[in-house]
């Protein structure tokens, strides 16, 4: 008789954490859409800012690549750099 009573208790103990996890997931998933909309409306997300940031990153990577390939002290060079 005690075995028959343990099954429902075990099922409830197993289902409660699963149900809580599902509720938390649903709550956080709703906030994710709002967060995505907020990021899209961010001032730096327009095409001009992105292309300017991409160009800036390319210049930095070119300077790092040049510094890695030479034995000269590139930090002491005047701006603008010449190859």
Give the pLDDT confidence of 9-48 residue by residue, as tens digits.
Answer: 899 899 999 999 999 988 887 777 788 888 777 777 778 8
**Are 31 and 4 contained in the same domain?**
yes
**Are 28 and 64 contained in the same domain?**
no
Rounded to 5 degrees, what are φ and ψ at 4? -65, -30
**Are 5 and 37 contained in the same domain?**
yes
Domain with 17 in it? 1-42
**Are 12 and 34 contained in the same domain?**
yes
**Angle, vertex CA 23, rays to CA 18 and CA 6, nearest 5:** 30
Give the pLDDT confidence of 37-61 residue by residue, as tens digits.
Answer: 887 777 777 788 889 999 999 999 9
For the chain, the domain total comes to 2
- Per-residue confidence (pLDDT) for residue 17, from 0 to 100: 93
pTM comes to 0.40
Going from the C-alpha of 39 to that of each of 8, 27, 54, the distances in angstroms are 46, 19, 18
Stronger pLDDT, 10 or 80, i.e. the higher one: 10
**Are 25 and 6 contained in the same domain?**
yes
Residue 62: inside a domain: yes
């Amino acid at each position: 008789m005690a075995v028959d009573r343990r099954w429902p208790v075990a099922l409830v103990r197993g289902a409660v954490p699963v149900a809580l996890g599902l509720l938390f997931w649903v709550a956080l998933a709703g906030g994710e859409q709002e967060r995505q909309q907020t990021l899209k409306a961010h001032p730096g997300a327009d095409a001009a800012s992105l292309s300017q940031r991409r160009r800036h990153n390319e210049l930095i990577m070119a300077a790092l690549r040049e510094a890695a390939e030479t034995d000269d002290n590139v930090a002491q060079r005047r701006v603008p750099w010449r190859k």
